[in-house]
Chain A
């Protein structure tokens, strides 16, 4: 029973997608309820699976009992199970907020939104447990194609942003597919553990290196790693609030997780870090990503766009952390996947609440919000503290490991970039806090309390509290989950 429990977690959103689309044509309020129900099931089941994996060890599951390497294999190791929980919980919160924000921003299209969103969530959950390199390609495309649709449902420049993403995303997918193609020609297998066993015996260094480079570039485009991030800011900004709440915490983070998977489980750490020059170059790129994206964030006047650049900077944090090539940095990167998912979730939920009540999320729209929406703004403030890295919020602890890893590796440009980015985050968020605290909205003399409705507010509050709880228990997360799962130890 527990062996295949996780399959139910992954399939629940997919199975719900069909009735959501059909039933909700006649009665729309059903769409959100069914979707949330399916995701509650997924979230609870994923948590059970995580507990089970931690107790009884990794689950290896072959679909349809076809033997490996011909059949498709799913591997739920502790990290994969952790990601299942992250994806399902974030998705649950995002979909809950979509109940109200989708009907506000996309009236008449809610059922389409929920259908695409549920398929995308299935794709994301499949990605984190798949042990088949080609399956990962398929699932990447499933999530990407649904995302194109979800973004294009927005108003104004959304279709253009989506089109940009289609082109960039497809290029990324091509790189990934080519990488897999090289590997398949070399090894004749698509099963990741199987390939990992064959690669060391191969005598084709150039071909293996090419496949590695293609896979990396493909994933970097997907995660928006500077300078391949061009599609990301507009896509996140112009998408409907419900879409950005769903995408921003999950897409980039799952791609980073896939990069870790490919580097350490398809190849070996020794192989990935074989060339110090390459490693150095990528860390410099990460440092540059952090600094440049932070300065772009500094130049924005629209909250969602600013957050999008913050996300690009955070991708730099994680890629840099992985490529520091020591266990502290990798610990920080993995911990940051969890923390950053939570932080971006809270911030985009806050944006969603503000857009729902005020109509837009330019900085000037925040005027007087500490009086009008005190609960939303309290959660926003906590989220800002987490992104700045104020203890005991979770953002501090992953940053701690990342900086410490940078010091251990002697990569001071990366350390400096992290410190600068914390300071920039302090500036950009306090600018909004100041507007919300000091300015009065034009034309309103008396400020009445007007919070967003419960489906948006509840996940926001729970997420904000989770920022502190996860922070306080980061010792347990690192000690019990991440440290034992690291692929190597120095």
Chain B
């Protein structure tokens, strides 16, 4: 159980961080499987899978897979590691998205998470019948309502709602199914979801791309927040936790992870990289890290060189002590009512 003494560790692939054309563009499923299985063998908490909507003005990465379908497939070839897919609030309807992730969570036996970006992508709006795009406020307010609906739908069925009583003819207990009946500014969603309750209560909500106004949404709703390195200072994480407290949550119920890109330098000085992570973690600037890999082989270096050093210093747990992503992150039984 993570209790503040050990750091949360996520890894992700970010070919756009590669210095030139990424060597891994168009990774096939077996290569991605090897990457995730290697992270699992090392006992890392989760893999974050980006969605390939190209960054405005950037190279098209030509990933072959959409992230939620990729997570479904990866769930069948792994057993412990958390699997988090990015999915846009512009590309999906809240009911469909809630349903997809609820289903991923059952397929993975409680290891799924949704990475919701709070950064609008104008290119995406243009492909989803919104050529006019969104104003900043509009996107954020809509996303906030969207996230609330998704989290509400995830709680539509009580954990003990399904009875499976063949003889009595009672499949579920009607008292334990709840309509959402949401009517808001942007959406109207009756519910309930047609997927059973998550094995980990609800899928883990990861939030990224946070502007200052979006911080309040994260403090209220997120399980995990990803912050970029340059913006990280102890005050930021502390501020998020204070705000979470103000929303009636325990500070431990919100994990702040810092995005760190692995560079070629770690092979030269793994100790210095470990020092940097340790200093950041001990100063309470974050609860852990999302280590971004520009190419798959960078994972070998991180696991082979840096992870043993972090373990030696007692900063990282060895292996999994539980079954769900929420438990890996020390979020099980936190403030979800």
* Co-assembled chains A and B: no
Which residues of B pack against A, CB within 8 Å? none
A residues bordering B, Cβ < 8 Å?
none
